[in-house]
A and B are shown apart, each in its own frame.
Chain A
Amino acid sequence: SQELEQSPQSLIVQEGKNLTINCTSSKTLYGLYWYKQKYGEGLIFLMMLQKGGEEKSHEKITAKLDEKKQQSSLHITASQPSHAGIYLCGADKGNQFYFGTGTSLTVIP
């Protein structure tokens, strides 16, 4: 199965601080997806990266995929309490869709 490791497992930051979450795959990725989950709810799609070196931004969240397509990072600038939740990276392999181990983000006002 596709293995996706995320780091850190959990993160506590002061509001206004920047942070980075990493996702590493044991295999070359065809597509890398970032999702956010509010506690106890379903996942919300954030971004999809497909090309090596690709970078996408949405509001204060930027995601990058490295040239080898095995590592991705999610960067949040000037974090806000609304950014709190669990961030998961995901990858597809044919009809299967796998997720990483998850990173729990707490933003302290």
Chain B
Amino acid sequence: SQTIHQWPATLVQPVGSPLSLECTVEGTSNPNLYWYRQAAGRGLQLLFYSVGIGQISSEVPQNLSASRPQDRQFILSSKKLLLSDSGFYLCAYLLEGTGELFFGEGSRLTVL
């Protein structure tokens, strides 16, 4: 069966510091992968999605970047964090043929 993991679960970082959030999927090959951000417990904003290794599509211009160095690994990064980067970040993969997204446990980032 497929599983998805994110880490770290919680992160407190100073403004200007770098960021790396990692997401890995098991039990599936070549999944579509997604990074979302949720602010103030509201709707999810799609940040990046990837349909394959090295293929990244960005939805909104921002201080963040994403990479997919391996088929089942998706990384969200920043070189210098801003206060506005605080939020709850969720990684997800698409279960092929169903249209159903499976989400990781989420990573809560607080930038001080």
Contact = CB atoms under 8 A, between A and B. Distances in A.
B61 interface: no
B43 A43 contact: no
A99 B59 contact: no
A100 B23 CA distance: 23
B44 A99 contact: yes
Interface in B70-101: 88, 90, 92, 94, 98-101
Contact of B57 (A48, A95, A98, A104): A95
Contacts of A76: none
Given A1-B59, A90-B101, A95-B32, A104 B44 contact: no
Interface residues of B, number: 26
Contact of A97 (B41, B42, B46, B88): B46
Interface in A80-109: 86, 88, 90, 92, 95-102, 104
A103 B9 CA distance: 24
A96 B46 contact: yes
Interface residues of A, number: 27
A96 B49 contact: yes
Contact of B36 (A6, A86, A99): A99
Interface string A44-70: 110010000000000000000000000
Contacts of A92: 99
A102 B42 CA distance: 5
B19 interface: no
Contact of B105 (A41, A86, A90, A102): A41
Interface of A: 1, 4, 6, 31, 33, 35, 39-45, 48, 86, 88, 90, 92, 95-102, 104
12 contacts: A1-B59, A35-B101, A42-B106, A43-B44, A45-B100, A86-B41, A95-B32, A95-B57, A96-B46, A96-B49, A98-B46, A102-B41
Given A44-B103, A90-B101, 9 more contacts: A42-B92, A43-B92, A48-B98, A86-B41, A96-B46, A97-B92, A97-B94, A100-B43, A101-B42
